[in-house]
Structure 1
C-alpha cells in the first residue's frame, strides 16, 4: 500500500521521483493520481477561461475577463495544453480503468485540437455577427443569463468584468487593423451585420441601455443606499466607458474595416484558409472526412429527403412541384397564426405537455435540471437562431430554450414540434443536463462540447417525434423533414462556400431551391456558416452515426434490443468524439449478445 501511494505521488509530479522506474510506476492500479490530473486540468481551465466557470454556475471568477486576443494569453493557452498532453501521454492505458481510458483519449483530443487551433490567427477576426465576445457579454449584461445579480458583490463583480471587457474591445480593433494589413478580414456582408449590433450599444438613453438592465432587477434585500451607489457606478460605467468604446469600434468597423472587407465568402479567402477549413472539419465532425466526401454525402442526403418530401406534398393534395410547395408552406397564413410573442412561447409549452406521457417509453434516465422556454433578447434577435443555453451544474439555473421572434406576424410554426425536440426535450436539454448531473464523470467531461455528438444527438431526436406522439399534422412532419433537409443542405453549402469557391449568393440560392425556409432566414443561416466554418457540418454527420449505431444494435440484438437502454448508453458518457462513441456502443452490443 505504501509503495502504491509513493507511485501515485510520482504520477502527480510527472513521474519526477527518480528512484521509481517508469515501468513500475505505470503498473499502478490505484489511479487516484490520474483522477487528480483530470481534476487539476478542470480547475486550471476555469482560471484560464473564467466565462466558462460563470456559465457553469461557478462564481469564483465572476469578476475576471482575460484578454484572450493578446499574444500573452495565446502563449498561456499553448503552455497549458502542451503541459497536460505531456502529463497524460506518459500514462499507459493498462494503468487505467476503461472509463479513465476514455477520459485520457478525450483529453488528448482536447489538447491536440487546441494546440492545432493556436497555429491559426483566429485573433485577427475577433468579432462577427453570430458567435463572438460582444454577443456573449450582451447576454450577460441583460441580467437574465448566467452572470448573477443577487448580491452587492455580484453587481461589483460585473463592473470589474466590464472594465476588462473595455480593454478587450480596444484590442479587438487593434487586431482587426492587423488583419487588414495581412489580408485576413471578414467578408463585407458579415461586417454589415455586425455594425448595427454595435450601434445599438451607443444609445445615449442610459436607462434604456442593455447594460443598465441589472439596475432594473435589484433584489428587495438591497438598502436604498446600496441601490443608489450601484446605480451611480453603472451609469458612470455605461456613459464613460461602454458607450464610447462601442462608438469607437462602430466608427472603425463602419468605415476603415468595411472598406477592407473581402468579397470572397469562404474561409479559403484568407491566408491559410484551406488548412484552417481542414482543421475545422476535424474539430466539428470529430472525423477524418474530407470536404469532397462531405459534399457528396450532402448531395445524396438532399436527394433522399427530397423524395420523402414529395410524399407529404402528395398527402396534403398540393399539385405543383416541390419548390412551389416550399413557397406554399412558407406563406401559408394558417401556419402563421400568432399575434403576440407570448403565443409562440405558449405553443412550445403545449408541445411539451403533449409529448410528456410518451417520454418514459424511450428514456429511462431523465434530467432533474429545470427547463424554460424564453424569447431571445431583442438586441440579438434579428440575426439569432433558436438555441439552447444549459442550466448550471448545481441545477439552480434552468436550461433555457431561446426562440427568436423578430416579427411575430411572419412567424411560421410548421416546424415547431421538430424544433422543440432538437433544442429542448429530448435533445439538448436531456443530453447536456444528464451529462452535468452524472456523478461518475470527471468534472472536465461534464461541460465538454463536441458538435458532432451534441448536435448529432439533437438531430437524431427529431426523428423520434412520432414515437413521442407528435407529427400527427403532415405539416409538422414536413417541418421535421425540412429540418433534416436543412442539415443535409449544410453539408453541401458549407463545403461549397469554404472548399469549392461558392459565393454567398450561390449558397443562398441552393438553399432556396431545396428547403422551405424564408429567404431572410436562409440568408442569416448562410452568413452564420460564413462566420464559423465547419460547425454546420456536425449535425448531419453526428446524426447519421447515431442512426447507424441504432440500426446495428437493433439488427445484432433482435428481441433483446431495448431502446431505453440504447439511449442510456449513448447519453451516459456525455459528449465524446464519434469514434469513441462507436467503440462504446460496439462493446455494449457484444456484452448484450
Structure 2
C-alpha cells in the first residue's frame, strides 16, 4: 500500500509541472489528509479512554463527563464542524484511497449526528457496557491503563478523581429517563446492582483498584511508594467506593421499581426509529429489520439440517433436541478440572492451526498474543472476548476466557470456532494488522465497524476445516452451534425490538435451536436487550464476506488466491460493507 502511494506521488510530481488540474488535486489531497488527522486527534481529546485503549498515553489522566449535556453539546459541535469541512471537498478529485476515507467519514459523521435525537444518554450504562465496567478494568492494573512509571500511577489518580462526578451525572441521567420513559428492563437492572455492590469494600487494600499498588515497581523510590500507597487508599475510600455504593443504592432503591417489564426498545419514546437507526449503524447496510429477520429464519433452517448430519454421523438415536440435551449433560464433555486445563486446550488449538495459517494469509500481525482467564470481578456475566493490542506493541492482544468453574466448561461448546473468532485469525489478525498499517489515516487505523470486524471473525469460524480443525465431529457440531447462534440472533434481536417477542420467548427459541444452557441463553438474550442491533452485525457481515469470496472464486477461476483475497480484505482496515464491496470489486478486476 505504501509503495502504491509513493508511486502515485512520484507520477504526480513528474507530470504535475505542466498540469494546473493535477496541482489542485494534490493540494486537495493534502488538505484532505489534514482534515482526517485533525478529526482523529480532536476525537481522542474528547474520548481519552479510547486513546488509552489504543495505547496512546497522552490523555491517561483524563476522564470526561461524557454523559453531561455540556459534553454532548461539545461533541455535536465537533461532528458538525468536521462535516462542514468534509463537504468542501470534491470527491471526484480525491485519490482512490482518499475516496474510501471520504465515504467512511461521511457516513460516520451522519450517523453520529443522527444519534442525538434519541437521547441515549438517559441510559448511561447497563450490565454489559458502560464506564462502571471499563473503569474497573482500567483501574485493576490488568487492563489498558499502564502502571509502569510514577507518572502512570499519578495519571490514574487524576483520572479516578473525576469518577464521582460522572457517577452523580449518571444518576441524574437515569432520573431523566425515569421521567421520559427511557428505562431499562427490570431483568437487566437486577444484574447491574451486584456489579456495583461487589466493588464496595471497607478495607481499601481489598479493593480491585488496589491492584496497581500490589505491583509497585521495585525501581520506585521509598518516598514515591509511600505517597502513592496513601493516595490510592484515599481515592478508593473517599471517591471510588462511595461512588459505586451510591450507584448500587440508587439502582436498587430508586431505579429498579421504575424499570420496565417489557423486553424491546420499541416501547420507548422513538423506540422503533431508534432501532432502525441502530440496525443501520451496526450492519452498515440498508436492510430492514423484517429482511434481517427472514434471513435469520432461513439460516437457522439451513444450519439445523447440517446439525442433523452430524447427529447421524456420531450414531445418536433421537431427535435433534435430545442430541442438544446429550451434548449439554453427558459428563464426558466436561473433562476439565481447573482453569489451566481450559487455557491449555486453547493453546493446543493455536498450535494445530499455525502451520496452515501460512498458506491462507500473506501478512500476519507483529503484535504479540496471549490467552488469559477473565478477571473474577466481571467473569460471572462476561463472554469470551478479545482485547486489542496497543499500537506500539507494548501490550499484547489478549483472548479472555471466563472460567467461573472449570468443571462446567463444555468441550462441545465450540472451542475451536471460538478461538478462530475471538483470537486467531479472527479479531487478533484483523485488529492488529489494521493498527499496524501506518499508511492508513489514523481515524481508519483505529476504526471499528461491527459488520466488518465481527463479520470477519464469524467468517473465520468457517475456515476451520481449511486450517486443520473440525476433524472431531463434536467440535464441528460446536462450530455449527456457534454459527446457528449468530443466525438465531437475527431472529430474536429483531423479534425482541420490533415484534413484541418477550425475553422468555426469545430464551425458549434459542434453547430450542442450539445446545445452550438456560443460563447461557438468558445471558445472551439480555445482552441483545441491553445493546439492540449489535448482535446483527456478525451474521450480516459474514454472509457478505462469503458472498464476495464465492463471487470472485467464480469470476477468477484459477486466478483466485484465497491468501490474496484475505490480504485485500484486511489491508485497508474496517469499513462499511458497501464501501468494502466497491473496493473488493476493484481488486477482482485487477486480478483479471
Residue pair 1:183, 1:270 contacting (<8 A) in 2 also: yes
Which residue is equivalent to 2:234? 236
Structure 1 CA distance for aligned equivalents of residues 218 and 164 of structure 2: 30
Which residue is equivalent to 1:508? 507
Runs of 4+ in 1 over 4 A off after TM superposition: 23-30
| Structure 1 SS opposite 2:148 | coil
Q: Deviations over 1:246-269 (max 9, x none)?
A: 111111100110000101101112
**How far apart are residue 496 of structure 1 and its match?**
0.4
Structure 2 CA distance for aligned equivalents of residues 39 and 134 of structure 1: 30
| Structure 2 SS opposite 1:400 | strand
**How far apart are residue 519 of structure 1 and its match?**
1.1
1:87 aligns with 2:101: no
Residues 257, 26 of structure 1: alpha-carbon distance in 2 compared, 3 angstrom cutoff: farther
Q: Deviations over 1:323-371 (max 9, x none)?
A: 1111111122222111111111111111101110110010011111000
| Structure 1 SS opposite 2:372 | strand
My pick for the range that moved more, 425-434 or 236-245, is: 236-245
Which residue is equivalent to 2:12? none
Structure 1 CA distance for aligned equivalents of residues 23 and 365 of structure 2: 40
Segments of 5+ residues of structure 1 without an aligned counterpart are 1-22
Structure 2 CA distance for aligned equivalents of residues 187 and 416 of structure 1: 32
**How far apart are residue 203 of structure 1 and its match?**
2.0
| Equivalent in 400, 411, 421 of residue 413 of structure 1 | 411
1:528 aligns with 2:501: no
Q: Deviations over 1:234-285 (max 9, x none)?
A: 1111111111111111111001100001011011121111111000000000
Structure 2 CA distance for aligned equivalents of residues 512 and 365 of structure 1: 39
Residue pair 1:494, 1:534 contacting (<8 A) in 2 also: yes
Which residue is equivalent to 1:549? 548
**How far apart are residue 26 of structure 1 and its match?**
5.9
**How far apart are residue 227 of structure 1 and its match?**
1.1
Q: Deviations over 1:552-576 (max 9, x none)?
A: 0000000111000000111111000
**How far apart are residue 205 of structure 1 and its match?**
2.7
Which residue is equivalent to 2:379? 381
1:168 aligns with 2:162: no
1:496 aligns with 2:480: no
Q: Deviations over 1:291-324 (max 9, x none)?
A: 1100011000000000000000101111111111
| Structure 2 SS opposite 1:31 | helix
TM-score by length of 2: 0.95
**How far apart are residue 86 of structure 1 and its match?**
1.0
Which residue is equivalent to 1:424? 423
Structure 2 CA distance for aligned equivalents of residues 196 and 471 of structure 1: 39
Residue pair 2:422, 2:457 contacting (<8 A) in 1 also: yes
**How far apart are residue 28 of structure 1 and its match?**
4.7
1:437 aligns with 2:444: no
**How far apart are residue 97 of structure 1 and its match?**
0.6
Structure 1 CA distance for aligned equivalents of residues 25 and 436 of structure 2: 32
Residue pair 2:163, 2:243 contacting (<8 A) in 1 also: no
Q: Deviations over 1:108-137 (max 9, x none)?
A: 111011101122111111120001111111
Residue pair 2:349, 2:416 contacting (<8 A) in 1 also: yes
Which residue is equivalent to 2:473? 474
Structure 2 CA distance for aligned equivalents of residues 41 and 252 of structure 1: 37
| Equivalent in 71, 74, 83 of residue 73 of structure 1 | 71
Structure 2 CA distance for aligned equivalents of residues 343 and 57 of structure 1: 31
Residue pair 2:163, 2:239 contacting (<8 A) in 1 also: no
| Equivalent in 102, 111, 115 of residue 104 of structure 1 | 102
**How far apart are residue 164 of structure 1 and its match?**
0.8
**How far apart are residue 96 of structure 1 and its match?**
1.1
Which residue is equivalent to 1:15? none
Matches within 5 A, 1:55-74: 55-74=53-72
**How far apart are residue 535 of structure 1 and its match?**
0.1
| Equivalent in 122, 128, 131 of residue 129 of structure 2 | 131
| Structure 2 SS opposite 1:57 | coil
Q: Deviations over 1:377-400 (max 9, x none)?
A: 111100011110100011111000
**How far apart are residue 95 of structure 1 and its match?**
2.1
Which residue is equivalent to 1:16? none
Matches within 5 A, 1:180-579: 180-414=178-412, 415-579=414-578
| Structure 1 SS opposite 2:564 | helix
Structure 2 CA distance for aligned equivalents of residues 245 and 28 of structure 1: 53
Which residue is equivalent to 2:176? 178
**How far apart are residue 29 of structure 1 and its match?**
5.2
**How far apart are residue 228 of structure 1 and its match?**
1.5
Which residue is equivalent to 2:7? none
**How far apart are residue 165 of structure 1 and its match?**
1.3
Residue pair 1:384, 1:404 contacting (<8 A) in 2 also: yes
Structure 1 CA distance for aligned equivalents of residues 129 and 28 of structure 2: 42
Structure 1 CA distance for aligned equivalents of residues 542 and 22 of structure 2: 43
Structure 2 CA distance for aligned equivalents of residues 148 and 249 of structure 1: 27
Structure 2 CA distance for aligned equivalents of residues 439 and 197 of structure 1: 39
Residue pair 1:29, 1:95 contacting (<8 A) in 2 also: no
Which residue is equivalent to 2:590? 591
Structure 1 CA distance for aligned equivalents of residues 241 and 393 of structure 2: 35
Structure 1 CA distance for aligned equivalents of residues 446 and 537 of structure 2: 18
Residue pair 1:142, 1:214 contacting (<8 A) in 2 also: yes
Structure 2 CA distance for aligned equivalents of residues 474 and 157 of structure 1: 51
Residues 79, 546 of structure 1: alpha-carbon distance in 2 compared, 3 angstrom cutoff: same
**How far apart are residue 30 of structure 1 and its match?**
6.0
Structure 1 CA distance for aligned equivalents of residues 378 and 230 of structure 2: 27
| Structure 1 SS opposite 2:151 | helix
**How far apart are residue 439 of structure 1 and its match?**
2.0
Residue pair 2:451, 2:577 contacting (<8 A) in 1 also: yes
Which residue is equivalent to 1:159? 157
Which residue is equivalent to 2:15? none
| Structure 1 SS opposite 2:118 | coil
Across the aligned residues of Structure 1 and Structure 2, the Cα RMSD in angstroms comes to: 1.3
| Structure 2 SS opposite 1:401 | strand
My pick for the range that moved more, 488-497 or 437-446, is: 437-446
Residue pair 1:65, 1:164 contacting (<8 A) in 2 also: yes
Residue pair 1:27, 1:94 contacting (<8 A) in 2 also: no
**How far apart are residue 25 of structure 1 and its match?**
9.1
